[in-house]
Amino acid sequence: MLVKVLGSIDLVASVIFLMAIFGFDTNIKIVLFCAGLLLLKSLFILGGDVLSAIDLFSSVILVLSIFFALPAFLLWIPSFFLLAKGFVSFL
């Protein structure tokens, strides 16, 4: 059950990345909320989960995307990784 909840967080964050890539306006509160959740999820790296580094990187990129216009490849990479992690968590 917990794996599916954490996977759904990944999927929502991936959708936010895709919205930023394609130029949709996203609510800053939702972006910060997802970035905060990804930051909390990245604390699993302390337990030895290497894939939590993706969450940390994605959280930083989400926060930076609010203030700066980042290149598209910096948004595509975490989007695909989070989409894959979210999809695998439901299997």
The pLDDT value recorded for residue 53 is 87
The pLDDT value recorded for residue 29 is 93
Proportion of the chain above pLDDT 70, given as a percent: 100
Tokens (6 digits) for 89: 């968590």
Task: Provide the residue range defining the domain that includes 45.
Answer: 2-89
Stated pTM of the model: 0.87
List, for the chain, all residue ranges whose pLDDT scores fall below the cut of 50.
none
Average pLDDT score over the chain: 89
**Overall domain count for the chain:** 1
